[in-house]
Amino acid sequence: MNKRQTRFIICCRESDKYQKYIKRIILPISYFSDDLLEWLRKPRAGIGMYSPYALVIRNALNVGKNGRGAKTKQWGNIFPRVEEILSLVNKEGSIFAKMVMNESVAHRYADYYLQTIKPKTKKKYEKKMKKCYTYAYNLSLTTKHTKFMDSAMYWLAVAYQKGNEMHKAIPYYCMVANREGKRHRNKYHLSKINKAKKICKKSIKE
């Protein structure tokens, strides 16, 4: 096992720990907040290895990949803790922490947006979703963080597409498709960019 693999495994263990802390409602966030902020300060799992950070919120809420199995009605007392952590990160966290946490929580706001029926409440979650994705994107521009430059706008587009609001999705797909500069070199990530390019190209023809 090389050093990078070792760092990744250690980081995954830390991720598991914070997931459990978030789930333990009786445990004050102040008990682990300083350690969490330090852990999120920079990606220690290795360059391009972001999954341990992205999984903290997702697994704390028992959500599968790409939002599969998301049951917002069961998040009850846990989601307010997630929002409290997001607020703390936005006040005291590093830029990396803000990017990864805003995108992570935006995914969950997207779940609420997609599963909410009442128009007023749906609009509320749409606004929060868009705000978090946009914040992560804008921070990525200042840091030249290629992963979040594409992923934040891509997932916002996906949420709108799933919500049958393709007219809102297309501009964000095209933002991803037409962005100039370097791309995050990851096969899964590049597949998202290719999808965005196809959708954007098709929309122009139509």
What does the pLDDT read at residue 2? 75
Using pLDDT thresholds of 50, 70 and 90, give the confidence band for residue 1. Answer: low
Do residue 33 and residue 77 come from a single domain? yes
Residue 13 CA: distances (Å) to CA of 8, 17, 51, 54: 9, 6, 12, 13
33 and 132 belong to one structural domain: yes
Taking each helix axis from N to C end, the angle separating 51-60 and 78-92, rounded to the nearest 10 degrees, works out to 150
Average pLDDT over residues 145-158: 92
Looking at the fold, whether 74 and 118 belong to one and the same domain comes out as yes
Assess whether 85 and 135 both reside in one domain.
yes
Residues 97 and 112 in one domain: yes
The range of the structural domain enclosing residue 163 comes to: 144-206
Q: Considering 107, 139, 171, which residue would you say is the last residue of a domain?
A: 139
**Among candidates 24, 26, 6, which has minimal Cα distance to 14?**
6
Same domain membership, residue 156 and residue 99: no
Please, which pLDDT band fits residue 48 given cuts at 50, 70 and 90?
low
Number of domains in the chain: 2
The per-residue pLDDT for range 123-136, each reduced to its tens digit, is: 999 999 999 999 99
Residue where a domain terminates, one of 117, 139, 161 = 139
Asked if 28 and 109 sit in the same domain, the reply is yes
Q: Do 22 and 122 have their domain in common?
A: yes
pTM: 0.93
The share of the chain scoring above pLDDT 90, in percent, equals: 72
Nearest to 153 by CA among 137, 168, 141, 167: 137
The label of the residue with tokens 């991720």 reads 15
Say if residue 149 is in the same domain as residue 112. no
For 158-202, write each residue's pLDDT tens digit.
Answer: 999 999 999 999 999 999 999 988 887 778 878 999 999 999 998
